[in-house]
Structure 1
Amino acid sequence: MSWFQSAVVYQIYPRSFADSDGDGIGDLRGIIERLDYLKHLGVDVVWLSPFYPSPQDDNGYDISDYQDVDPVFGTLADFDELSEGLHARGIKLVIDLVVNHTSDEHPWFRDPAKRDWYWWRETPPNDWRSFFSGPAWELDPVSGEYYLHLFSRKQPDLNWENPEVRKAIHTMMRWWLDRGVDGFRMDVINLISKDLAAGVYFNGPRMHEFLQEMHASVFADREGLLLVGEMPNVTVEQARLYTDPARRELDMVFQFEHVQIDQGPTSKWDLHAFELRALKETFGRWQTGLADVGWNSLYWNNHDQPRVVSRFGDDGEHRVAAAKMLGTVLHLHRGTPYVYQGEELGMTNTLFNTIEDFRDIESLNHYAEAVAAGASPDDVLLALRKMGRDNARTPMQWTSGAHAGFTEGEPWIPANPNHEWINAEAAVTDEGSVFHHYRRLIELRHQLPVIARGDFTMRLVDDERVYAFTRALEGEELLVLGNFSGDSMRIEIEGWTGAEAPLIGGPGLVLGPWEGKAFRRSAA
């Protein structure tokens, strides 16, 4: 059994977590000041989103120096103190590895001798579109050639076909590991192998080769690391290969299927109604598909997704119950759970009145392109309010005071007004809060092997309101129930009375609105 199978990871988005110097932007010292909060929650790993020097075109995912800290976030000395503080509390540190692309202000991009470290063509060889709207090929007026950028035009894609690129990246990765880092979350890593002629940039022809080479060069002589790859458009079959320990590539991947069930097939902005059966189908398929080979990551939220209690739950009257239920359902699956900052408080989507309230380049670019093409501004804003990434990036809600206790200055993006009643200070002192429910879920994963390693069986597959599954290991069983509706209901599961040793919730198979329950028993 690998250590990460019973671990829980907490993601910090530094820009929005805690500001120590009053400039309105979160920083490393702000995180250092909150380490005891993370220890109290009980997490095993902190995943730190980018803190590197950056022009901040894409909020730090456009990196201009891979081996330093942006002054807005602090210094390398601050990073070392953060790392030491986490390790002293028994918490590992994983950092973002963003190597599909750099900033156009990175020295590599500006060095004529490294021109072939990127993708340059005299004319665009295909009609690829950027994920942030517009063509993916940008004309450089100085050279008269086009370079590839699958994201912002200020994020040119690295050419991984060049072995010197791979060598430089491996050297950088070893540098961070030598500094005490415990692993990497690899941003859109399955885009690094591309076939321009065939029009392929997801899971390209040399992906496995590149990952195995990376493992041999960087990880082979190190133990206890966590290696997770963000992989849009990855299938279960591909994930089995990526996460098969015998292949020495990755420990787990972030797949996107479950966070696309309320979207159209071609655009995240094409809103569809949430269907519980669709969620069960995708989760169940991934649970079954990686049961014997590989490992699942489990997440609802991250810096790119709207808040789950607003998205799949109820952020009104039943917010607390819905947040607890969603946490219960996710954490008791088989896989490693990820908690995004504020999720443990039941933080919700925020309020956006006009386009001027948004900060994210993806949302701003989409609005401009869609309105220019004739779409109704109100319709575009409706989609942005529901799916925009800024929902996840509002300040962490520490107190009911000014700016949610995030900063003494003016925050780079306003705090959600509901911080007056949704905040960490209130939650920590309330034993019935979402925070303490998450503490309990994390404790259970540490204590019960059936949660980390047990078999998974989906129950009530066709039920449109109740998510139900069982877990089993060595004579022990769990039954997990989640009510995804505002109605009370009685559940019938063959062989269960619901009176046995409730882990979460009370006895009996009766669920209140948005309530989650879990029961434990010895197998018959």
Structure 2
Amino acid sequence: MAQEPNDTSIDPLWYKDAIIYELHVKTFYDSDGNGMGDFRGLIEKLDYLQDLGVTAIWLLPFYPSPLRDDGYDIADYFDVNPTFGSLNDFRALLDAAHERNLRVITELVINHTSDQNPWFQKSRRAAAAAAAGAIEPGYGGDIAYKDFYVWSNTPEKYKDARIIFKDFETSNWAWDPVAKAYYWHRFYSHQPDLNFENPAVHDAVEKVCDFWLSMGVDGLRLDAVPYLYEREDSNCENLPETHEYLRKLRAHVDAKFPNRVLLAEANQWPEDAAAYFGKGDESQMSFHFPLMPRMFMALQMEDRFPIIDILEQTPSIPENCQWAMFLRNHDELTLEMVTDEERDYMYRVYATDPHARINLGIRRRLAPLLANSRRKIELLNTLLFSMPGTPIVYYGDEIGMGDNFYLGDRNGCRTPMQWSPDRNAGFSRANPQQLYLPVTIDPEYHYEAVNVENQQKNLSSLLWWTRRVIAMRKNFKAFSRGSLEFLNPDNAKVLAFLRRWENETIVVVANLSRFAQSAELDLSRFAGYVPMEVFSRNLFRPIRKSRYVITLGPHAYYWFALQAPTDARRASKKRVVPTIKAPADLDILLGNSQREQLEREILPNYVRNSRWFGSKARTFRDLKVIEQLAISPDRDGARLLFVEVNYLDAPTETYAIPVKIASGEAARSVSQSASHAIIAHFADTGGAILFDAIWDTTFRSQLFEAIVQRQAIKGQVTDLVGLASDKLEPDHLLASGKSQVFGAEQSNSSMLFDNGFFLKLYRKLEDGVNPDVELNRFLTEHTQFPNVPAFVGALEYRRTKAEPTVVCLLQRA
């Protein structure tokens, strides 16, 4: 069984803060060279998704299927398509994703199945037997499936229900020659609808849920939920019975699998879509379909009205619920939830080529829809990440992939992921003719130009910009949980709104025009506050009682975090020590389930406020623990952490941070003598603290001994090696046991031992020769120069394919 997603410390509302990445397994990476992506290939690319900053993966259907609707025609709910791998491969994917704190959301297509599904085959045989007036030998248990689907002797029922796929279907009924009856289908005729009037169908669906959730899946997307029930004299959508069933399903899932999420796909007007939240007892999430086309409409019209209008029509939702927001996905850009006039306008400006149109929508990716305009792509993504709801990124849109609408159906938006300029875009080693779909070779979006490898090397690329905007969104809960309030400047080409959560206030301003614009914002209630531009951290002029004038370039945007007035900022300058809600145990703290909090909140808080951290003026992106080394075998001993600090505007830096846990009298001693060294408090542990271990006498002695005894300390991927001078004398082999930390720290931390030894811990680590150490060693070992402290030894950090890095220098004072 795959491991559980996480432990009991998980926030049950995790989906509110999520950033979801949508992909089809077959599109992402082919590990075995058969031309089709697979689970093993996806596992190989999880690090890419982690680096992108997303927190959840939404996998399109991967079940056994005839693939006549890209997997949404499911033939078996309890297995995976062998083309993608095995159930064990899927379990391995779950484990690998959870190790990286990535959640996995899969599809639960419950409205319909494939006509190849054994349920349907049994149902049609049972219907035929029943129509013949007898249950013939050989049908066995098939009769139990007779009412699994909606059968009728006439296609005249439910005439008020619309036909969704008008380009492919002329009726919602299809004749079955085996059953000699009509069956109901809301989508393709090869996808018969299940009959939710039958309690046995409810039981079957619950078994499917249990199967995947017990495996460790974190969420289920409920496909096409508005169409579960049928009723005469109605349009067979959004019926009360559907909501009653969803409440039943939600209760079942909550009782057996806490902290899992149901995501409803309801392509409906806001009022109807919001109904799928119920009173917080149906789905926790639901797609906001009507907003998506209006974002494109507002951009083309250069007018904010379509966005404001549809969001003002959107009712408030329960506190434990969240909208799912997106720009593009695996289907066409749907125009079902717009007026006829608006649909004609969208076709006219975004799909002049009739081949780009399908059903009631436009089958194009984000970049081609926006004519590959980098400014427009950034602008719409900025709005996506700042709107109320959880953003969803469609695979490839982070690099601006193109499409090929000549491939038929929606396949033009489902081509292989473009990893490199190599053959098959680095997606597969197969013969190009063997690929499930051809890679994009449109000159403007050719895989040799648009690919991850190229953009990885270019800090100005769309990929790097996407990483930055995701990192910035994750820094502010106002985006994921805050309220929305529109500001209404006189200039309708400028969209401006506030997002507020607790003490966070973000002002979002976007120019929808292709020309420069100015606008006056009424921010008088924030008089005295200073807007800080989130990406650059530059401060703009303070807000006054008068209107705040702002100018924007073509398709420009700003995210401003409003900083408190000067006096309040000064008062809040003192660092607030965070609290860890976990056991006071370094193994747990540095394990997979707790490391995210350590990297995202705890260590950045300490690093930014430490005197030895010299990059305070740079824009912090994130911090990652890349290695931990136990200096002593004692389980409660200190750990030496090596962390990478990534910036938005500068190269990555590596720092050394020794940490230890203290409780009782030891914790009180640190609090009194070195309160600035406290990294975090532990909740409900009797005053235990996590602190910087250079303030621990035992740790200082252990560093000394590691050097003079030439110890080799093994890490997960690195070694720490003690190097002692060739002129080491016997009295150097023992430390006095008494030492103190120098009060003044700059780029390093210094410790003085009572017997005359001086130990320096370099905080910022740089590969290669350390001039300080090299010169000191030469003067000690090869000259009689008496005017420098004698070199005693050093501690080196060694990694594969990298030059050694000096961590500590030991001298005789």
TM-score by length of 1: 0.84
Q: 2:407: which partner in 1?
A: 358
CA distance in 1, matches of 2:183, 2:489: 48
SS in 1 for 2:401: coil
Q: CA deviation at 1:235?
A: 3.0
1:226 aligns with 2:261: yes
Q: 1:290: which partner in 2?
A: 317
Q: Given residue 416 of structure 1, which amino acid in structure 2 is its aligned partner?
A: T
Per-residue CA deviation, residues 22-65 of structure 1 (Å, 9 max, x unaligned), is 33222222211101001101211111100000000101000000
Q: CA deviation at 1:351?
A: 4.0
- Structure 1 residues 441 and 263: CA distance shift in structure 2, 3 A: closer
Q: Given residue 23 of structure 1, which amino acid in structure 2 is its aligned partner?
A: N
1:491 aligns with 2:545: no
Q: Given residue 500 of structure 1, which amino acid in structure 2 is its aligned partner?
A: P
Q: 1:307: which partner in 2?
A: 365
2:451 to 409, 419, 423: 423
Q: Given residue 120 of structure 1, which amino acid in structure 2 is its aligned partner?
A: W
CA distance in 2, matches of 1:338, 1:110: 37
1:406 to 399, 412, 427: 427
CA distance in 1, matches of 2:19, 2:520: 31
SS in 2 for 1:81: helix
Q: CA deviation at 1:177?
A: 0.7
Q: 2:68: which partner in 1?
A: 57
Conserved? CA contact 1:286–1:296, under 8 Å: no
1:201 aligns with 2:255: no
CA distance in 2, matches of 1:321, 1:79: 39
Greater RCO (CA < 8 Å, at least 6 residues apart): 1
SS in 2 for 1:403: helix
CA distance in 1, matches of 2:260, 2:319: 21
CA distance in 2, matches of 1:422, 1:463: 36
- Structure 1 residues 293 and 7: CA distance shift in structure 2, 3 A: closer
Q: 1:335: which partner in 2?
A: 389
CA distance in 2, matches of 1:70, 1:276: 46
Q: Given residue 205 of structure 2, which amino acid in structure 1 is its aligned partner?
A: I
Query: Structure 2: 5+ residue runs without aligned partners?
Result: 1-10, 127-142, 333-363, 541-549, 566-813
- Structure 1 residues 15 and 435: CA distance shift in structure 2, 3 A: same
Greater shift in the superposed pair: 51-60 or 476-485: 476-485
Q: CA deviation at 1:263?
A: 11
- Structure 1 residues 520 and 175: CA distance shift in structure 2, 3 A: same
TM-score by length of 2: 0.55
Q: 1:151: which partner in 2?
A: 187
1:242 aligns with 2:276: yes
CA distance in 1, matches of 2:77, 2:204: 10
Q: CA deviation at 1:290?
A: 3.4
CA distance in 1, matches of 2:82, 2:512: 44
SS in 2 for 1:504: coil
Greater shift in the superposed pair: 277-286 or 139-148: 277-286
CA distance in 1, matches of 2:371, 2:486: 23
Q: 1:379: which partner in 2?
A: none
Conserved? CA contact 1:277–1:463, under 8 Å: no
1:395 aligns with 2:395: no
1:514 aligns with 2:555: yes
* % same residue: 34
CA distance in 1, matches of 2:422, 2:496: 40
CA distance in 2, matches of 1:476, 1:217: 37
Q: Decide which structure has the larger Cα Rg and report it.
A: 2
Counting only pairs closer than 5 Å after superposition, residues 252-263 of structure 1 correspond to structure 2 as 252-261=285-294
SS in 1 for 2:256: coil
Q: Given residue 515 of structure 1, which amino acid in structure 2 is its aligned partner?
A: A
SS in 1 for 2:329: coil
- Structure 1 residues 291 and 481: CA distance shift in structure 2, 3 A: farther
Q: CA deviation at 1:500?
A: 2.7
1:116 aligns with 2:174: no
- Structure 1 residues 336 and 461: CA distance shift in structure 2, 3 A: farther
SS in 1 for 2:21: strand
SS in 1 for 2:58: strand
Conserved? CA contact 1:239–1:294, under 8 Å: no
Greater shift in the superposed pair: 432-441 or 132-141: 432-441
- Structure 1 residues 516 and 24: CA distance shift in structure 2, 3 A: farther
1:180 to 216, 219, 228: 216
CA distance in 1, matches of 2:429, 2:195: 43
Conserved? CA contact 2:291–2:311, under 8 Å: no
Segments of 4+ in structure 1 off by > 4 A?
A: 260-264, 272-276, 461-464, 496-499, 505-508
CA distance in 1, matches of 2:498, 2:61: 37
- Structure 1 residues 156 and 463: CA distance shift in structure 2, 3 A: farther
Q: CA deviation at 1:174?
A: 0.5
Q: 1:435: which partner in 2?
A: 463
Q: 1:384: which partner in 2?
A: none
Q: 2:46: which partner in 1?
A: 35
Q: 1:474: which partner in 2?
A: 502
Count of aligned pairs between the two proteins: 477
1:98 to 109, 119, 134: 109
Q: Given residue 307 of structure 1, which amino acid in structure 2 is its aligned partner?
A: R
Q: Given residue 68 of structure 2, which amino acid in structure 1 is its aligned partner?
A: D
- Structure 1 residues 481 and 247: CA distance shift in structure 2, 3 A: closer
CA distance in 2, matches of 1:327, 1:507: 23
- Structure 1 residues 478 and 38: CA distance shift in structure 2, 3 A: same
Q: Given residue 152 of structure 2, which amino acid in structure 1 is its aligned partner?
A: R
Q: 1:366: which partner in 2?
A: none
Conserved? CA contact 2:404–2:413, under 8 Å: no
SS in 2 for 1:57: coil
SS in 1 for 2:240: coil
Conserved? CA contact 1:258–1:282, under 8 Å: no
CA distance in 1, matches of 2:114, 2:30: 25
CA distance in 2, matches of 1:461, 1:351: 40
CA RMSD of aligned residues (A): 2.7
Q: 1:381: which partner in 2?
A: none
SS in 1 for 2:534: strand
CA distance in 1, matches of 2:289, 2:498: 24
CA distance in 2, matches of 1:257, 1:479: 24
Per-residue CA deviation, residues 220-263 of structure 1 (Å, 9 max, x unaligned), is 23222121100012433x4444325x542111111321244499
Per-residue CA deviation, residues 325-383 of structure 1 (Å, 9 max, x unaligned), is 221111112211111111222234x244xxxx3232xxxxxxxxxxxxxxxxxxxxxxx
Q: CA deviation at 1:158?
A: 0.4
Q: CA deviation at 1:507?
A: 7.0
CA distance in 2, matches of 1:273, 1:502: 26
Q: 2:799: which partner in 1?
A: none
Q: CA deviation at 1:79?
A: 0.5
SS in 2 for 1:472: strand
Conserved? CA contact 1:64–1:106, under 8 Å: yes
- Structure 1 residues 79 and 279: CA distance shift in structure 2, 3 A: farther
Q: Given residue 310 of structure 1, which amino acid in structure 2 is its aligned partner?
A: P
Q: By percentage of residues, which structure has more strand?
A: 2
Per-residue CA deviation, residues 169-218 of structure 1 (Å, 9 max, x unaligned), is 101110111111111011111211221x1233211130121011112223
2:487 to 444, 449, 459: 459
Greater shift in the superposed pair: 471-480 or 456-465: 456-465
Conserved? CA contact 2:292–2:326, under 8 Å: no
Q: CA deviation at 1:422?
A: 1.9
Q: CA deviation at 1:273?
A: 6.8
Query: Structure 1: 5+ residue runs without aligned partners?
Result: 265-271, 361-388
CA distance in 2, matches of 1:517, 1:202: 40
